[in-house]
A and B are shown apart, each in its own frame.
Chain A
Amino acid sequence: GNSVTQMEGPVTLSEEAFLTINCTYTATGYPSLFWYVQYPGEGLQLLLKATKADDKGSNKGFEATYRKETTSFHLEKGSVQVSDSAVYFCALSSITGNQFYFGTGTSLTVIP
Chain B
Amino acid sequence: EAGVAQSPRYKIIEKRQSVAFWCNPISGHATLYWYQQILGQGPKLLIQFQNNGVVDDSQLPKDRFSAERLKGVDSTLKIQPAKLEDSAVYLCASSLQGLQETQYFGPGTRLLVL
Contacts and interface: CB of A to CB of B under 8 A. Distances in A.
A51 B51 CA distance: 24
Contacts of A46: 102-103
A105 B104 CA distance: 18
Interface string A83-101: 0000001010110011111
Nearest to A93: B99
A49 to B, nearest CB: 8
A32 B107 contact: no
Contacts of B108: 43
A41 B93 CA distance: 17
Chain B interface, >50% SS class: loop
B55 interface: yes
A104 B99 contact: no
Interface of A: 4, 32, 43-46, 49, 51, 89, 91, 93-94, 97-105
Interface of B: 3-4, 33, 40-45, 48, 55-56, 58-59, 91, 93, 98-100, 102-108
Contacts of A103: 42
A45 B105 contact: yes
Contacts of B44: 102
A102 B99 contact: no
A42 to B, nearest CB: 8
17 contacts: A43-B91, A43-B105, A43-B108, A44-B43, A44-B93, A44-B103, A46-B103, A89-B42, A97-B98, A97-B99, A98-B58, A98-B99, A99-B99, A100-B33, A100-B45, A102-B43, A104-B42
